[in-house]
Chains A and B, each alone.
Chain A
Amino acid sequence: MTDPIIRIEGVSKSFGNFEVLKDLSFTVAPGEKLALIGPSGSGKTTILRILMTLEEINGGGIFVDDEPLWHMPKNGALVKADEAHLHKMRAKIGMVFQLFNLFPHKTVLENVTLAPMLTKGTPKAEANALAMDLLAMVGMADKASQKPAELSGGQKQRVAIARALALRPKIMLFDEVTSALDPELVEEVLNVLRKLADETDMTMLLVTHEMNFAHDFSDRVLFFDGGRIVESGPPDQIFTNPQEERTQTFLRKIVAAGQRI
C-alpha cells in the first residue's frame, strides 16, 4: 500500500471557547478523491483551511507528502513552522474558495499567471501559455482579457479553479465551491471538477453540500459532526447504507430538503 499523501494526527482546533476539531485523525492516499460532508459548523471547512495554512492548529500534527505542515525539524526536534517552511509546503496545495476570491483588479489571464510568474519565476510567455491551457480546460479561454466583475458566478469559480491549478499542486482543496452560485450555474462548475477528477491524478478534498455530486465524485466520504469524523467509507455505503444514526439523520434531512442522493 502506498504511503498517504496527507496524514492528520490528533488535530484539535478551537475558536475561542468553541472547539471546532477534536482530536481528529485521518489519512488521504495519493490521488484519492475525498468528499467531506456534514452539517454546518462540523469542522469540515476548518480542516481545509488548516491544510491551506489559513488557520493554525492548537494540537496534534499534520504531514503532507511525508513532511510536517505546521511544524519543521530543527536540531532534531519538531518546532513550530516558520514562514519559509509554510511557503514551501503551500506550493504542494491549491485551494478554491466558496466566494471565488478572484483578484478584481487583474484580468482573468493575470489572475492565473500571477502565481507561476511571482512564485516560480516562470517567464511571462510560458505562464501565459500555461494559463491559456488551463482556461481552455475550464472553458474560459475566450474570457482571458476580461475582468472578474464582467463574469457570472460560475465563470468566476471556473477561473478560480484554473488559478489554483496554475501552480500544479499535488493536492487540491475545494471549499463549498458551488454554495454561492445560482442553481443553474452549479452544473458548469461541477462539470469542471468531474473532468479534473477523471483526467488528473491529483489528490482532491471536497467540502460540499451537493450529496449527489459527492457520491459520483469521491472514492471515499467522511461524515463530520461536532468536530469529529462520525463515519467514513465508500460513497455507496455512506449514502445508501449509513451505519451511524447521526449520518442517517443528516442524510434524511438532506433528502427532505429536496436533494437527490
Chain B
Amino acid sequence: MWDWNFVWQIIPQLADGVVITIQATVLGTIIAMIAGLGLAIARRSRNKFIRYPFGFAAEFIRGTPLLVQLYFLFYILPDLGILLSPMVAGVIGLGVHYATYTAEVYRTGIDNVSKGQWEAAKAINLSTRQTWTQIIIPQAIPPMIPALANYFISMFKETPLLAAITVLELMNQARSVANYHYKYVEPMTMVGAFFLLVSVPSVIFLRRLEKRFAPKLR
C-alpha cells in the first residue's frame, strides 16, 4: 500500500508546492497585518463616511466564505477588466480575508490601552500620529501577538483553497501527482504530514508567545 520509492520520487514536485504555500502564507500574513491595522483605524474613525463603508466591507468579507472570495477575485474580476495572476489573486484573497479578523484583534488591543494613555499623550502635546506610533501601537501590539499568530496559523492551513484558482501550492501539486499516477495515499499523507509538522510546533511556539506577552496586558 505505502510505496517509499514513490515518496522519494514525488518529493521534488511537492517541494515546489511547499515553496508556493509558504510564499502565499507569508505574503498573505503581511497583507493581513497591514490591511488589518488600517481597517481597525478606519473603523475607529470619527468620520462616519470612513467608518461605515469599512465596517460594512469587513462584515461582508467575514460573512462570506474565502473560497467564494477567491472565485470572485480570479474568475469574476477579469469580466470587469481586472486580470490577476492566480498567485496574486490568492495572496490578496487570503490577506484581505484575514485582515478582517486581524482588524478585530487590533481593535481589542487598541481598546485595551487605557484612556489615561491617550489623555497623557494629549497632555504632553503629542500629535495624533505621534500618539498612535509612540504610545498606543507599542502598547497594543504585544498582547495581540498570540491572537494574531493564531490567525496566521489558520491562514496557513487554508492555503490549499488556493488550488481552486489554479495556484500550484502544495495541495495542487499533490493532487496533480496523485491524478497522474493514480496513487493518492502517499501524496495526500505527505501534504497532511507537512501541515502537521509546521502547525504543531507553531502552536507550541504560540503558547510560549502567550506566556511571554499576555501578562503585559495586566
Contacts and interface: CB of A to CB of B under 8 A. Distances in A.
Given A114-B134, A118-B130, A164 B124 contact: yes
Most chain B CB inside 10 Å of its own CB: which residue of A99, A105, A164: A105
B89 to A, nearest CB: 39
B119 A87 contact: no
Contacts of A94: 123-124
B122 interface: yes
Most chain A CB inside 10 Å of its own CB: which residue of B119, B122, B124: B124
Interface in B95-144: 114, 116-117, 119-120, 122-128, 130, 134-135, 138-139
Contact of B117 (A54, A90, A103, A115): A103
Contact of B139 (A90, A91, A93, A105): A105
A115 B126 contact: yes
A194 B119 CA distance: 25
Contact of B125 (A87, A99, A101, A102): A87
Interface string A212-232: 000000000000000000000
A101 B119 contact: yes
19 contacts: A54-B119, A54-B123, A87-B125, A94-B124, A95-B123, A97-B123, A101-B120, A101-B123, A103-B117, A103-B120, A103-B134, A114-B126, A114-B134, A118-B126, A118-B134, A119-B125, A164-B123, A164-B124, A167-B124
Interface string A92-118: 011101010111110000000011001
Interface of B: 114, 116-117, 119-120, 122-128, 130, 134-135, 138-139
Given A90-B122, A101-B116, 8 more contacts: A87-B127, A93-B123, A105-B138, A105-B139, A114-B124, A118-B134, A164-B124, A166-B124
A97 B124 contact: no
A103 B116 contact: no
A163 interface: yes
Nearest to B123: A95
B135 A54 contact: no
A103 B126 contact: no
Most chain A CB inside 10 Å of its own CB: which residue of B114, B122, B125, B135: B125
Given A97-B116, A101-B117, A118-B134, A90 B123 contact: yes
A99 B138 CA distance: 20
Contact of A115 (B114, B116, B125, B138): B125
A52 B123 contact: yes
Contacts of A167: 124-125
A53 interface: yes
Nearest to A166: B124
B124 A119 contact: yes
A95 B125 CA distance: 11
Given A87-B127, A118-B134, A102 B120 contact: yes
Interface in A64-103: 83, 87, 90-91, 93-95, 97, 99, 101-103
Contacts of B116: 97, 99, 101
B114 to A, nearest CB: 8
A101 B139 CA distance: 13
Contacts of B135: 103
A71 B119 CA distance: 20
Contact of B124 (A54, A83, A104, A115): A115
